[in-house]
């Protein structure tokens, strides 16, 4: 029953959000793992030849199409494609054509974070080649490039919540694997926390960061010490809250919290991974490199914090 619920949700998402028509849907336990939590979805472009082979008669006992192959083909329902970034851009640009001071600062900070990820792409890949698949930098770089492209076209910078939501849509579309999913979850949680707040202040960003951490931990299963991006974000969140509650200047609080993020990321060298591909690697090999996901998170967070302070200071009359 649970698989069918997930299948229904996935098909509806493909049709209604992405405008993709599904010709065949197969649901079942095709490739399992003893300790796996959740489910996986595979999508393939099809043509007439592929569909004929999928429907062909077979004696393979576990093939979900059955042995006779004489199934009635499902009806194809054309679903209008959802508005793309380009389609939404005219309305959104009209909303934010003239940026407020806060909008300009948000734009500069997002740009700084994306450019920092681009700068450290090779380092991320090098670290990941030792403790993972070797593509962390490439995946993050793809997301950063897309963000820089989309931010000029369809990010309503005067609305912090909606901008964060759009960032999630961007990374969801171009970043594959677990990384893209987790960053989309991060953005959705931050959006939910910021939504409806007219003037977003430091405390609201702190709450959004905490909400994002909780969401990633809930759906990803990681906690501090698991050698993941949370080993950068959790220390940052704790220090940010601590400094704000102590009455520190918010800009200084962000910078100090970014230092905590980098320290936390570097500390992953001494951790035994509890989640992700790194959890299958020996401790001596893990010690040769920090967790690339944590380093990536610390890098963009620090770049955003430094840009935030610089842009705010330069915006003063």
What's the residue count for the chain?
A: 317
CB–CB of 134/125 below 8 Å? yes
pLDDT value of position 27: 84
d(CA 194, CA 188): 10
Q: What is the largest CA-CA distance in the chain?
A: 78
Q: Which of 258, 303, 291, 267 is nearest to 126 (CA)?
A: 291
Domain limits, the chain: 1-82, 88-315
* Per-residue model confidence as pLDDT tens for the chain (317 residues): 778 888 888 888 888 877 888 888 888 877 666 555 677 888 888 888 988 888 888 887 777 753 333 444 444 555 555 555 544 545 554 455 689 999 999 999 999 999 999 999 999 999 988 877 788 999 999 999 999 999 988 899 999 999 999 999 999 989 977 889 999 999 999 999 999 998 999 999 999 999 999 999 999 888 888 889 999 999 999 999 999 999 999 999 999 999 999 999 999 988 765 555 555 565 666 666 899 999 999 999 999 999 999 988 766 65
d(CA 277, CA 132): 6
State pTM to two decimals. 0.71
Which residues neighbour 316 within 8 Å (Cβ) at sequence distance 6 or greater?
A: none
Q: Which of 149, 164, 31 is nearest to 85 (CA)?
A: 149
d(CA 87, CA 82): 9
Question: In terms of CATH, what superfamily is 88-315?
Answer: DhaL domain (1.25.40.340)
Which residues neighbour 172 within 8 Å (Cβ) at sequence distance 6 or greater?
A: 180, 181, 184
CB–CB of 281/134 below 8 Å? no
CA-atom Rg of the chain in angstroms: 22
pLDDT value of position 70: 40
Q: What is the DSSP string of 184-243?
A: HHHHHHHHHHHTT-SS--HHHHHHHHHHHHHHHHHHH---TTSSSTHHHHHHHHHHHHHH
């Amino acid at each position: 029953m649970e698989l069918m619920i997930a299948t229904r949700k996935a098909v509806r998402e493909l049709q209604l959000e992405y405008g993709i028509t599904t010709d065949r849907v197969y649901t079942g336990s095709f490739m399992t793992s003893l300790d796996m939590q959740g489910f996986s979805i595979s999508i393939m472009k099809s043509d007439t030849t592929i569909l004929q082979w999928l429907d062909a008669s077979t004696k393979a006992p576990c093939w979900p199409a059955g042995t006779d192959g004489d199934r009635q083909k499902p009806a194809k329902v054309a679903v209008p494609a959802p508005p793309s970034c380009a389609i939404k851009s005219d309305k959104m640009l009209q909303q934010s054509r003239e940026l407020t001071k806060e909008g300009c600062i948000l734009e500069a900070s997002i740009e700084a974070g994306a450019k920092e990820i681009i700068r450290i792409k090779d380092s991320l890949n090098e670290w990941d080649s030792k403790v993972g698949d070797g593509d962390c930098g490439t995946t993050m770089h793809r997301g950063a490039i897309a963000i820089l492209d989309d931010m000029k076209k369809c990010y309503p910078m005067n609305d912090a919540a909606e901008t964060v939501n759009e960032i999630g849509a961007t990374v969801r579309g171009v970043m594959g694997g677990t990384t893209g999913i987790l960053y989309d979850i991060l953005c959705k949680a931050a959006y939910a926390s910021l939504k409806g707040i007219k003037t977003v202040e430091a405390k609201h960003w702190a709450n959004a960061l905490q909400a994002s951490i909780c969401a990633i931990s809930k759906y990803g299963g990681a906690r501090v010490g698991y050698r993941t991006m949370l080993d950068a974000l959790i220390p940052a969140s704790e220090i940010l809250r601590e400094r704000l509650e102590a009455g520190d200047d918010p800009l200084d609080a962000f910078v100090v919290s970014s230092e905590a993020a980098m320290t936390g990321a570097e500390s992953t060298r001494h951790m035994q991974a509890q989640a992700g591909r790194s959890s299958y690697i020996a401790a001596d090999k893990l010690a040769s490199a920090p967790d690339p996901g944590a380093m990536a998170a610390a890098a963009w967070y620090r770049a955003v914090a430094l840009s935030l302070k610089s842009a705010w200071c330069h915006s003063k009359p």
